[in-house]
């Protein structure tokens, strides 16, 4: 009977607590990956916390600040913390991070961080201002403050800890450099430094997508091991603190290891995991090979997007150019280290068929383009313009300085659609691309998508269009990923190019492993699944492998 009563009382409690108590388990050293301390998408996420969130977090970590240092010091000969503090030239009162404020003079923008306004600011405001200005996660900065000086959890921090809060300018066995003293300076220069590493990767020891030897400890004789830097943030952390934990430090994750241990990067990883959750969200290893031609690439943290053509990089100079090609951000891949070594060979131009006009003049031109060069034809009247199916919403208005009055052809008729226009033959249901004086059938929806064609741009075919000779079918563009139905092998399409840049043939390049596939930041949905006879028709080119 009593057992029943006990069960009736306790079981619901057990069930309730079982459901609602935080079930997160302690971090294990086996989860440490030297080359992948943290994902870039996490480390550089400046919007992960706001100022109020940061303030709440700091409040929660230190509910009671020992402002007067009245707690026992725990050190022989010194009754209170204040006594020991005074002996080290650090008398009370002590200000905890949650209460800390500083007069900030502000900084101007440079190529690494945007400007930060001056004023009297709390620590939470400083952390968030710097985070937003430099594009670094406030969590990364909070953890850096903890890793370097334990400021976040300190109930009676010393002024020296604020002065050198992120360890910036503090060599291991010498005094700190006064140039970087002060809480604001410390947070600002730390965050900015991670941007320096992104912008000047080859200048520093450890480079994203490359292997470097990382020591275990500054003491000579403790050894090192090669570490492949799987993320930019990981390379940055090793550039910031060039040591990795040895097995003794990892085996005692919440304590000390041996005389060859170092703790900076271990503690960053451990503290981030403990406070803010996993440091790895989209676990993939960046591949050690270039992307195939026809791929858009971008280095994390840098604004420039490049298109790879013939093994060289072409800068996509502005958003108008990007949009004119119908690109979407989801197809911009993370540049690998070998990508970053590719020569920059100029800028990509607009897509052929783009309509432009200067800001101050009414003339509308249509472009005919190669990769890096366009000529413009003048559409001579509004009747011709509308007769070709164009609307003014399609016209890109550019600064007048970019649109001179020279043109190659004057378009005076709308009887035949122009180069790069799409037309629909309603009798056959076929969509054609007008190109090189011919009508070229777009034989599948996948090719239509892969070419970034838009249905809104498809015009009804005119008799003049259908009277054009039939050219070769439109094929997949360079860089398109294909897989035959029922086959797991994924290929990237490559076009041979003659010296003048025009395509002369196509081949398929096999991406030899799933690791390389994901390491090139491709996703399964990026692959067009087509009939096996279609992939078989391509000749086979060089493999894409590491």
Partner 1 sequence: MRSMIKNKKYTSNRLRGLLSRKRLLVILAVLLVGFGAFALTRDNDKTDTKSPSDTTINTQPATEAEKSEAERAKERIAESEQSTTTPGQKKTVKPVITDTSNNSIKAYVSGIFEDSGSCTATFTKGGTSLTKTSSGFKNVSYTQCEPIKYGDSSLSSGKWSVTIKYSSATAEGVSDASTVDVQ
What is the smallest separation between the CB atom of 250 and partner 1, expressed in angstroms? 16
What is the smallest separation between the CB atom of 477 and partner 1, expressed in angstroms? 32
Decide whether 48 or 395 has the Cβ nearer to partner 1.
48
Decide whether 211 or 446 has the Cβ nearer to partner 1.
211
Structure token digits, residue 241: 């603190």
What is the smallest separation between the CB atom of 486 and partner 1, expressed in angstroms? 40
CA distances from residue 343 to 257, 309, 312 in whole angstroms, order as listed: 46, 11, 5
Cis peptide before 93 (omega within 30 of 0): yes
Distance CA 503, CA 501 (A): 6
Decide whether 77 or 220 has the Cβ nearer to partner 1.
220
Structure token digits, residue 534: 């279609």
Q: Please write down the long-range contacts of 316-324, taking CB distance under 8 Å and 24 or more positions apart.
A: 316/347, 316/348, 317/347, 317/348, 320/350, 320/396, 320/398, 321/347, 321/348, 321/349, 321/350, 324/350, 324/351, 324/354, 324/396
Decide whether 17 or 329 has the Cβ nearer to partner 1.
17
What is the smallest separation between the CB atom of 534 and partner 1, expressed in angstroms? 40
Strand order in the sheet with 527-530: 527-530, 481-484, 490-497, 503-511, 539-540
What is the smallest separation between the CB atom of 36 and partner 1, expressed in angstroms? 18
Q: Pick from 406, 411, 409, 367: which is nearest to 388 by CA?
A: 411
DSSP letter string, 252-270: TTTS---TT---HHHHHHH
What is the smallest separation between the CB atom of 119 and partner 1, expressed in angstroms? 24
Place of tokens 């054609």: 432
Decide whether 21 or 393 has the Cβ nearer to partner 1.
21
What is the smallest separation between the CB atom of 146 and partner 1, expressed in angstroms? 8
DSSP letter string, 358-404: ESS---EEEEEE-SS-EEEEEE--HHHHHHTT--GGGEEEE-GGG--
What is the smallest separation between the CB atom of 154 and partner 1, expressed in angstroms? 4
Residue 251 near residue 238 (C-beta atoms within 8 A):
no
What is the smallest separation between the CB atom of 544 and partner 1, expressed in angstroms? 21
- 318: CB partners within 8 A, 6+ apart: none
Decide whether 57 or 491 has the Cβ nearer to partner 1.
57
Decide whether 279 or 349 has the Cβ nearer to partner 1.
279
Decide whether 154 or 293 has the Cβ nearer to partner 1.
154
Q: Coil, strand or helix: which one is 459? A: strand
Residue 336 near residue 342 (C-beta atoms within 8 A):
no
What is the smallest separation between the CB atom of 9 and partner 1, expressed in angstroms? 6
Decide whether 220 or 463 has the Cβ nearer to partner 1.
220
Q: Give the number of residues written for the chain.
A: 546
Decide whether 147 or 291 has the Cβ nearer to partner 1.
147
Decide whether 98 or 325 has the Cβ nearer to partner 1.
98
What is the smallest separation between the CB atom of 545 and partner 1, expressed in angstroms? 19
Residue 113 near residue 198 (C-beta atoms within 8 A):
no
CB atoms within 10 A of CB 122: 18
């Amino acid at each position: 009977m009593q057992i029943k009563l006990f069960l009736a009382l306790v079981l619901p409690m057990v069930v309730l607590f079982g459901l609602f108590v935080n079930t997160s388990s302690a971090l294990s050293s086996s989860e440490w990956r030297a080359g992948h301390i943290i994902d870039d998408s996490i480390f550089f996420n400046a919007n992960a916390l706001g100022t109020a969130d940061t303030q709440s977090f700091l409040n929660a970590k230190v509910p009671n600040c020992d402002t007067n240092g009245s707690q026992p010091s725990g050190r022989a000969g010194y009754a209170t913390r204040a006594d020991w503090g005074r002996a080290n030239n650090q008398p009370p009162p002590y200000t905890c991070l949650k209460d800390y404020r500083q007069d900030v003079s502000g900084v101007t923008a440079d190529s690494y961080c945007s400007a930060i306004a001056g004023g009297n600011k709390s620590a939470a405001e400083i952390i968030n201002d710097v985070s937003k200005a430099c594009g670094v996660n406030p969590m990364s900065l909070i953890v850096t403050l903890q890793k370097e000086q334990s400021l976040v959890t300190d109930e009676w921090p010393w002024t020296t800890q604020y002065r050198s809060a992120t360890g910036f300018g503090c060599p291991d066995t010498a005094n700190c450099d006064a140039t970087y003293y002060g809480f604001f300076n410390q947070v600002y220069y730390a965050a900015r430094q991670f941007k320096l590493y992104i912008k000047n990767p080859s200048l520093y020891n450890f480079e994203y997508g490359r292997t470097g030897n990382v020591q275990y400890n500054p003491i000579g004789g403790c050894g090192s091991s090669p570490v492949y830097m799987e993320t930019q943030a990981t390379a940055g952390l090793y550039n910031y603190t060039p040591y990795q934990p040895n097995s003794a430090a990892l085996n005692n994750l919440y304590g000390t290891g041996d005389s060859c241990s170092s703790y900076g990067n271990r503690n960053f990883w451990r503290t981030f995991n403990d406070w803010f959750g996993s440091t790895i969200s989209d676990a993939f290893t960046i591949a050690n090979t270039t992307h195939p031609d026809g791929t858009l690439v971008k280095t994390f943290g840098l604004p420039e997007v490049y298109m790879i053509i013939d093994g060289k990089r072409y800068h996509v100079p502005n958003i108008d150019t990007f949009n004119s090609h119908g690109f979407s951000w989801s197809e911009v891949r993370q540049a690998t280290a070998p990508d970053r070594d590719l020569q920059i060979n100029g800028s990509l131009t607009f897509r052929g068929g783009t309509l432009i006009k200067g800001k101050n003049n009414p003339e509308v031109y249509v472009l005919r383009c190669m990769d890096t060069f366009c000529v413009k034809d003048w559409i001579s009247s509004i009747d011709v313009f509308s007769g070709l199916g164009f609307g003014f919403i399609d016209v890109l208005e550019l600064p007048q300085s970019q649109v001179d009055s020279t043109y190659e052809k004057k378009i005076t008729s709308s009887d035949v659609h122009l180069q790069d226009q799409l037309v629909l033959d309603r009798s056959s249901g076929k969509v054609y691309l007008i190109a090189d004086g011919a009508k070229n059938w777009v034989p599948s929806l996948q090719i239509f998508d892969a070419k970034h064609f838009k249905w809104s741009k498809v015009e009804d075919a005119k008799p003049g269009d259908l009277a054009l000779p039939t050219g070769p079918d439109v094929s997949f563009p360079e860089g398109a990923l294909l897989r035959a139905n029922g086959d797991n092998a994924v290929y990237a399409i490559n076009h041979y190019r003659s010296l003048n840049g025009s395509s002369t043939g196509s081949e398929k390049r096999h991406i030899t492993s799933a690791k390389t596939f994901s390491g090139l930041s491709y996703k399964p949905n990026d692959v067009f699944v087509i009939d096996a006879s279609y992939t078989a028709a391509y000749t086979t080119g060089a493999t894409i492998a590491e």
